Structure 1
């Protein structure tokens, strides 16, 4: 495997253990993470990703993150991985802890930092399915990027069984929310519209940048107004009355060409957003 792994202040061999059996990230999913694309040998939008990592840690109740250590890990794995690096994953857990859900006190916690660089597979288009499970927008983890990813694993497995690469979820109030690892943009009425964060959707970095860069380039991209994107809007996509695009740190912006078992046409705004994002991404690796 073309992986570069950094933990405990140094590079590690791929088969070298890096966690204790009682690390709280392993036992109860008490951790946060970020994944960055690698562009020109650098982690794309690293400053924004680290800001979100810190926000997720605060929301989860972890102590302040050792950002100097995190940045050193990113530098080390990118240097070690070289041309094989297509993505970087940064994981910070609560460190060694009890086997239950409760934590040691803040002054007793010793966070674990693991940074990995490796290849990435990118897609030009996406294929998605609707799944019956929902995001709980009132969950204490809503909007946080934590290592508690079990529900995403189950939903994505359903999608892959059906030949898709992403699963789409509603929130508990029947509003379109997000994918397991992506944000959603609906192309409708001459605009690209993405669900509001109040649905429990993660504030994706690619979503954030597209909302910034789109209007700057004259592309009509915005966040949905209350009640504007019900789950049923996906019926308009299936019927050809609307388009769909997904955004994420590795997929960037990808038009959806199949929803469930129906082939759908990618919309012109989705294609233009894809072109715009790739061009801006190449121009500035840390916007």
Structure 2
């Protein structure tokens, strides 16, 4: 489908994506002022849609942005956007901008929020062989600067982290917090497995829905799971390291700062959890039907 055939929701109506517009005075354009969410649909079902919608509304509340539709109506609009694009396997993103008050000034008074919903064929961000990641100079801002729980449109630090990693020849960036602890990768949470224990950072990270799902699936498998403080040492000495995200699923890491992780191949813990995750994606337990 090209932009003339794809359908998006913007300005309170469904329009061809090629005709969708946002004001140049919108605070999203001027200041990165807005919030967003991303979900995936697989085999005609949207995975954990309710959880994503609830997190989206929490992001709205955190930045004092009033969503123009109810939770139920938002859910209906998301499903309808996917349906109108005729997709069973889809990458779905929705954005709420602060909107415009007719001036290029920072004062948000009088801005009218603008809801945008788009759907594309599923974008595969997985890797069969694994990623080589590199720690970068860019740090994740602490919560008292920019709370990681908010999926805001201000992702410049994550973009710059990726730019730095790519320039150094790595596949992905590994971002530390201001204290030098493991944090996340741009758009991904991180897990390390060592001595039978699966660990993930707990400070200054987005509470990812796939992160949450991974912990649930691991617990159901009888694995010990910990949210804790992690240092680079933990990544360097881990049996397995992998990343998680909505669009990417569970993605293996085979090298961290030039150090081979485990035997340099995706490990058994990840392989088991990947299978569980694939089964969960289209399950009635955790997904919303499109049809």
CA contact (8 A) 1:7 1:73 kept: no
- The residue that corresponds to 2:134 in the other structure is 129
CA offsets, 1:16-57, max 9 Å, x none? 142111111111111000010111223211100011101111
- The residue that corresponds to 1:66 in the other structure is 69
Matched, 1:46 2:49: yes
Distance in 2 between the 1:14 and 1:65 partners? 21
Superposition deviation, residue 162 in structure 1: 4.4
Superposition deviation, residue 164 in structure 1: 4.2
Unaligned runs of 5+ in 1: none
Distance in 2 between the 1:161 and 1:80 partners? 40
Distance in 2 between the 1:282 and 1:85 partners? 10
CA offsets, 1:222-272, max 9 Å, x none? 312xxx411332332xxxx43201000011112212334455323321222
- The residue that corresponds to 2:107 in the other structure is 102
Instruction: Decide which moves more: 253-262 or 270-279.
Output: 253-262
The CA RMSD measured in Å over matched residues stands at: 2.2
Name the one with the larger strand percent: 2
Distance in 2 between the 1:43 and 1:95 partners? 28
Match of 2:11 among 5, 8, 13: 8
1:1-287 matches, within 5 Å, as 1=2, 3-67=6-70, 68-83=72-87, 85-97=89-101, 98-104=103-109, 108-119=110-121, 120-125=123-128, 126-127=130-131, 128-137=133-142, 138-196=144-202, 199-224=203-228, 228-236=229-237, 241-264=238-261, 265=264, 266-284=266-284, 285-286=286-287
Superposition deviation, residue 75 in structure 1: 2.3
Distance in 2 between the 1:278 and 1:16 partners? 35
CA offsets, 1:134-184, max 9 Å, x none? 112232333210011111111122333445443111111111111110000
CA contact (8 A) 2:41 2:88 kept: no
Unaligned runs of 5+ in 2: none
Q: Secondary structure at the match of 1:15?
A: helix
Distance in 1 between the 2:33 and 2:212 partners? 26
Q: Compute the TM-score of the two structures, normalised by the length of structure 1.
A: 0.87
Superposition deviation, residue 71 in structure 1: 2.6
Q: Work out the number of aligned pairs and report it.
A: 275
CA offsets, 1:124-143, max 9 Å, x none? 44412221111122323332
Distance in 1 between the 2:194 and 2:260 partners? 17
CA contact (8 A) 1:143 1:203 kept: yes
Distance in 1 between the 2:222 and 2:66 partners? 42
Instruction: Decide which moves more: 248-257 or 162-171.
Output: 162-171
CA contact (8 A) 2:198 2:226 kept: yes
CA contact (8 A) 2:165 2:171 kept: yes
Distance in 2 between the 1:63 and 1:274 partners? 37
Superposition deviation, residue 217 in structure 1: 2.4
Instruction: Decide which moves more: 47-56 or 253-262.
Output: 253-262
